[in-house]
Amino acid sequence: MPTHILVVDDDPDVPLLIRQAFRKQIQQKEFHFVFAQDGTEALQKLEAEKEIDCVLTDINMPVMDGLTLLSKLNEQHPLLKAVIISAYGDMQNIRTAMNRGAFDFVTKPIDFQDLEITLAKTIREAAALKQAAKDREQLSALQQQELAREREINERLRQIDKLKDDFLANTSHELRTPLNGIIGLAESLLDAPGENFSEKTRANLAMVIASGRRLASLVNDILDFSKLKRQDLQIQKKPIDMRVLTDLVLKFNEPLLGKKNLLLKNEIAPNTPPVEGDENRLQQIMHNLIGNAVKFTPAGAVTISARENNGMVAIAIADTGIGIPQDKFDRIFQSFEQAEASIAREYSGTGLGLAITKQLVELHGGEISVESEVGKGSTFTFTLPKSEAAPSEVVQSDILKSEVARVRQVEQVAPTSILKSIEGKSGQVAGNGEFKILVVDDEPINQQVLANHLTLANYEFIQAFNGEEALKAMDGKKFDLVLLDIMMPRMSGYEVCQRLRQQYLPAELPVIMVTAKDQVSDLLEGLSSGANDYIAKPFSKDELLARLKTHLNLLKINKAFGRFVPREFLHYLQKESVVEVKLGDHTQMEVTIFVSDIRGFTTISEKMTPAENFAFINEYFSIASPTVREHHGFVDRYTGDAIMALFPRQAEDALNNSITTLQRVRTFNIEREKIGKPAINIGVGLHTGNLMLGIVGEQERMQGDIFSDAVNLTNRIEGLCKFYGASIVVSGITLNKLANRGDYHTRFLGKVQVKGKDVPISLFEVYNGDLEAIIELKLKTKADFEEGLYRYFAKDFTNASVFFKKVLDVHANDKTARLYLERSAQFMVKGVAEEWEGVEAVESK
């Protein structure tokens, strides 16, 4: 499509000159020129031809000159770009034209090449302006569409919100009927004459009442919230004595104090003017503010005061509690907002109380504000219109007095003392069943419900009221299952479960989440934290006990298999349960291997019956095996009187286990000698190496096993304990793995050539586990022993003998020194080969 150019000039030769200069563009339909002789005609042309893209105009013309035309174009056609034709040097007119909106100019006589360049630039600018205008129009249309869509969505949301509010209101109303039955019947049972309920039954009934009232309070909050949103809450104002009303509310809140060292003080002066307000709603405001103050104040005081100010009465509720961060001041009055809203929060609530309070205060014509400092406390202040009523008209009121009386009656059945006694049970064992369960929940009433169910099923259980208590209870105690709440103070159930899974596999310690958070996302987070199962509150007793039975039966199966397949096998094979293990599963790892057996067991066993043999061996294993676990190892197998254990973490674990085992065997010997039985001695061999751990056999019969020549070598090292007269013999490889080698008493024993090994193995004795007297003798003779060894390996057998004799003069029972003395004497007579390096060959254990 050609570019339309309007040329305005009264010179009759201009059209011919233009057509001649731009004949090529005209022929190729790039340009289309329209001509006018003055400004007036130009405006008419513009009205007739809407496609004009730019204007080329002279300045000096009859009827309407070019400058006037530019002004008109600016007003009527702001998107059009104009180029002026001016006499050379006429700078005054050029400046005026540019000020009136001209885009560019050319001078007479016209240089058509220059004009072509100027027109091209002008056309590009005009096109860009038109495109921008078009884009704006499209954007505006899109914005209008989006606005219409948003209006439609908002309307739908308003309708949905109304449906939600109606549903909440209707549901809340429906909840009141069964709640009234629950609370009323429980209260009537407690008050029934002639009913001699046990203290436990009365406590349970009191908890039913407390739980019902808590739910009733939530229902009322939801109803009020719904009414306030719809501006459907009516208030009945009358003169109210705030001092009397405050006394009532404080009485209601006394049971909330529990074990807190907290004082409730009503400092509203008796001569404080009455306020104009709705008695029920003012009670609700005070309940919310005083209840919050009690909840968030561990110790100190909650003080209520009042003052008159400019026709209003300001009531202040001050506490010495935890305080509120300044950046939360505005948010706490918003619906569903709380200063602390995490699942590990310490204080329960819905976040509606302060939002409702604010709206109720404003409905009375007052205002509410807060001042607070974290760690020091908060003061909530709200204002109410002062009443001008006569004293006789003020509600002292029979209603208020009767309410106070009713509160005193309720105190007799309030479960505060019962809850204290429950909270005091943290860490105590209840029941004597086969299984021990850890119950973790910060709500005393929930704890009591679970305690009732577990007691009926004869489960043994311990209660913990937060995550820290739960983890502390796990130290030193064994549990078969954990019932775990999610929303708890300081540490959520998710965090507790994650911490437990760092130490226990799901098959070793089942964890069942018991919580009111029952969304799919909550379930997924619980299971990803390591929980085995999930029960939503409220739950039935039968469901709870059925889940417990299922998981505990699985636990019994896993424990039974665990006696034959160590749980560490499962860990290193990355299996959660023995049922997941498949033939051929394996892994490679570096471990320190521990092998021990009883010296002279054959002689001992021959003097016992088979039953006595089994009893003796199992008694010994019951001492040695727990020691292995205490030092982060696991028993791989028992072979006769021998134990083989693996220590994957560090070599120190294996060595410390060896020392502790020797010490416990000495204690075991003291008890044996008391009943006339012989003492036993054990030898321990340690070596570090790589091994393959996996499952071998066939589909119908498989077992966990390990493959490594390091195992055979460790067995041979243990066999050398008797040869050297040492209790613990370790390879040089293991000794070099010790991070703190200097913490142990060691001495070099020599080098041995084990069958099947090309490189000799250096052996060392670790004698920390010996008797104190033996340790002192070996330390005293260490220098002579080492000098003797140096002379021995240097083939200086004569001087070696001198030093070994010196050792034996001090420590006559040093079997290693005697062994080297005998060898030295032998080699002094027979001599040794030139290539001799002092390496002894070991053919078998």
Q: pLDDT category, 439, cuts 50, 70, 90?
A: very high
What's the average model confidence in pLDDT over 260-267?
90
Sheet holding 104-108, edge to edge: 31-36, 3-8, 52-58, 81-87, 104-108
What's the average model confidence in pLDDT over 436-465?
89
Residue 501 lies in a domain: yes
Q: Percentage of the chain surpassing pLDDT 70?
A: 83
Q: Is 312 in the same domain as 260?
A: yes
The region, left, alpha or beta by phi > 0 then psi within -120 to 50, assigned to residue 458 is left
What's the average model confidence in pLDDT over 295-307?
92
Q: pLDDT category, 608, cuts 50, 70, 90?
A: confident
Q: Is 307 in the same domain as 364?
A: yes
pTM of the predicted model, to two decimals? 0.53
pLDDT of residue 196: 78
pLDDT of residue 331: 78
∠ Cα 743 746 747 (to 5°): 155
Q: SS in 3 state form for 760-778?
A: CEEEEEECCCCCHHHHHHH
What's the average model confidence in pLDDT over 491-520?
87
What's the average model confidence in pLDDT over 531-549?
87
25-56: per-residue pLDDT in tens? 888 888 889 999 998 999 998 888 888 888 98
Q: Which of 502, 534, 563 is the last residue of a domain?
A: 563
What's the average model confidence in pLDDT over 449-463?
89
For the cut 60, the answer to whether the pLDDT of residue 421 exceeds it is no
Q: Is 764 in the same domain as 779?
A: no
For the cut 90, the answer to whether the pLDDT of residue 348 exceeds it is no
For the cut 90, the answer to whether the pLDDT of residue 11 exceeds it is no
Separation between Cα atoms, residue 804 and residue 820, nearest integer Å: 7
Q: pLDDT category, 346, cuts 50, 70, 90?
A: very low
Separation between Cα atoms, residue 23 and residue 695, nearest integer Å: 95
What's the average model confidence in pLDDT over 276-297?
88
Best mean pLDDT range from 91-105, 340-354, 503-517, 712-726: 712-726
Q: Is 338 in the same domain as 325?
A: yes
What's the average model confidence in pLDDT over 230-235?
74
Quick check: helix, strand or coil at residue 52? Answer: strand
pLDDT of residue 345: 47
| CATH of residue 435 | 3.40.50.2300
Q: Is 291 in the same domain as 389?
A: yes
What's the average model confidence in pLDDT over 301-313?
93
Separation between Cα atoms, residue 303 and residue 300, nearest integer Å: 10
Residue 165 lies in a domain: no
Residue 182 lies in a domain: no
Q: What are phi and psi of 485, to 5 degrees?
A: -75, 160
Q: pLDDT category, 59, cuts 50, 70, 90?
A: confident
For the cut 80, the answer to whether the pLDDT of residue 468 exceeds it is yes
DSSP 305-330: EEEEETTEEEEEEEE-SS---GGGTT
pLDDT of residue 500: 93
Q: Is 550 in the same domain as 617?
A: no
Q: Is 551 in the same domain as 605?
A: no
- CA-based torsion, 730, 731, 733, 736: positive or negative: positive
What's the average model confidence in pLDDT over 386-392?
77
What's the average model confidence in pLDDT over 781-796?
93
Chain Cα centroid distance, residue 597: 47
Q: Which of 380, 415, 450 is the last residue of a domain?
A: 415
Residue 147 lies in a domain: no
Residue 669 lies in a domain: yes
Separation between Cα atoms, residue 302 and residue 843, nearest integer Å: 85
Q: Is 380 in the same domain as 440?
A: no
Q: Which of 95, 110, 125 is the last residue of a domain?
A: 110
For the cut 60, the answer to whether the pLDDT of residue 277 exceeds it is yes
135-191: per-residue pLDDT in tens? 888 888 888 888 888 888 888 888 887 777 777 666 666 676 677 777 777 777 776
Q: Is 432 in the same domain as 352?
A: no
Residue 218 lies in a domain: no
Q: pLDDT category, 581, cuts 50, 70, 90?
A: low
Detail the DSSP E strand segments found in 226-367: 238-240, 261-266, 275-277, 299-309, 312-319
Q: Which domain holds residue 319?
A: 234-415
pLDDT of residue 136: 83
pLDDT of residue 144: 86
pLDDT of residue 276: 93
Q: Is 741 in the same domain as 804?
A: no
The pairs formed by 600-605 with CB atoms below 8 angstroms and a separation of 24 or more are 600/681, 601/640, 601/641, 601/680, 604/678, 604/680, 605/641
Number of domains composing the chain: 5
| CATH of residue 367 | 3.30.565.10
What's the average model confidence in pLDDT over 331-358?
62
Separation between Cα atoms, residue 136 and residue 842, nearest integer Å: 96
Residue 140 lies in a domain: no
Q: pLDDT category, 353, cuts 50, 70, 90?
A: confident
Of 210-214, 475-479, 772-776, 791-795, which range is least confident?
210-214
What's the average model confidence in pLDDT over 760-767?
93
For the cut 50, the answer to whether the pLDDT of residue 414 exceeds it is no
What's the average model confidence in pLDDT over 620-634?
90
Q: Is 637 in the same domain as 753?
A: yes
Q: pLDDT category, 394, cuts 50, 70, 90?
A: low
For the cut 50, the answer to whether the pLDDT of residue 460 exceeds it is yes
Mean pLDDT of the chain: 83
Closest CA to 527 of 456, 479, 475, 576: 576
pLDDT of residue 422: 47
- Which letter, b or e, does each residue of 594-626 get, where b requires 16 or more Cβ atoms within 10 Å of its Cβ? bbbbbeebeebbeeeeeeebeebbeebeeebbe
Closest CA to 724 of 755, 753, 749, 744: 749
pLDDT of residue 209: 77
403-412: per-residue pLDDT in tens? 555 444 444 4
Q: What are phi and psi of 477, to 5 degrees?
A: -125, 150
DSSP 647-663: E-S-HHHHHHHHHHHHH
Stronger pLDDT, 405 or 6, i.e. the higher one: 6
Residue 757 lies in a domain: yes
Q: Is 241 in the same domain as 380?
A: yes
